[in-house]
Structure 1
């Protein structure tokens, strides 16, 4: 009788051991299965999501095959339950276990949007509409409403954001990026204003920003910025009109077709510096740090004019006679290229 009992116990233990091995192997097969994806995919883990929630997402997206042993995964692999909130990138070739490890230990997926120095707020808004995984919080807002939401005192936002590359996470909004861009611009503007030259014809930081935006649009040659700034500062000091084409173009708005005609130079808009005195009322673009620094620290020069050289830079002149010669030389180069 005792022998039969012992034999029964041995059989039951063998069955139990076999069952345990079967279940464990099934769990291992499940977690080591490769993801059924052919290109990188994003998965977002929200607050309150569990491992079972993530498994459900993967199964729904057909990235993995389901298993009847899902409730036992956390028993065999409790380390896979420590998932964190965020958006993560899954790559082809990953197993389910590697995907969960990425969610636990990996860096949250970052996207990026790049704004070019000299771009306008209108162009920024257009870029926002095509940015991936970005909430368009400002899409239906007016410029004044955006300014209010950001706590900016100026209703026109041109020039008030620093143009550079901004990284963001899935779920961030365009308003979040604008807030960061304005904060960076303010820091640079404040620091530059503290280091400004004395006796500049600029009454405040905003006027420095306006001048910086004109410098940004007038030259892309780094070595010229301070000299271009000196021309405008010299003209302001002498009471001369700035007569800069980028301000005319900005005042024309959508009517600008690539050409400025004589009638455009005579049209009285708030931005036409051929007919108004001093600076235009607002910046005309988003200036970079170098242009802001140039605006408050211009070169010490007697230049009053400049024109394109035809070779990528500009020719600077101290009087109208030399300037007219430089203009004729530029026009001659243009004609020779036709």
Structure 2
């Protein structure tokens, strides 16, 4: 895929354009979807950052996914999936032989998923495209070493350069069960980004002694201009230094929730790249979050991580 240069000056407040590129840094993996009561699992390509990149591609946002996978059967599935969709991919060099991460996704009858992971994340370098305007990361990419430390350092460097850095915590206790260590990691990440997203489940695990809004404010006070919290069927809210804006979740027939948070994040990144600034005014933030919630809801109405196209999200195309 050809890369169009974003009109970005390299400093906050610079000129942006709707073609501003998002660089997504993190894992592509294979989900083994295992429904309750079933004796069989189904292998599908996924990974939160990869899903976000696919979502951005479907929204017609220039996007590059920086990821890695192994020369193994799960890796072949990942590579074929991304090539078929047409996502621009930088397959990262790794330290030693690469192995594809595999996630066991246990699906409950209500469509929710519980995960366990066999992980590998050892990027030797993280070369961003020159025209990157927004950098996104999160999930296993900031939790699994040695790659996590390198991604956090990348976030620090890129924010210092003036690029918009965004993250989705997407907490995975299965890969880092030490709550205090995970909380310290989340707080370090919060200090390096301008926008941070988390789910209410993420926050309740990280801060069991606080309610959702207190935990969100704890993270916002560390540096982000905006913290967005998703709450499943209860919608989402955004927290800035001056405002708390909540939006409802559209009513849909839920097939499963796989990829819903990633679809929400793709819509959020698309809005940030279009604006070139963090939406902090109440009505602007409400419009952004409403569109993100719709993107997540459309994904819940379909099986697996299957985010909508821009036409579907805008209501001009078939679902």
Query: With structure 2 as the length reference, what TM-score do the two structures score?
Result: 0.22
Give the structure, 1 or 2, with the largest relative contact order (CA under 8 Å, sep 6 or more): 2
Which structure has the larger Rg? 1
Of Structure 1 and Structure 2, the greater helix share is in 1
Query: With structure 1 as the length reference, what TM-score do the two structures score?
Result: 0.21
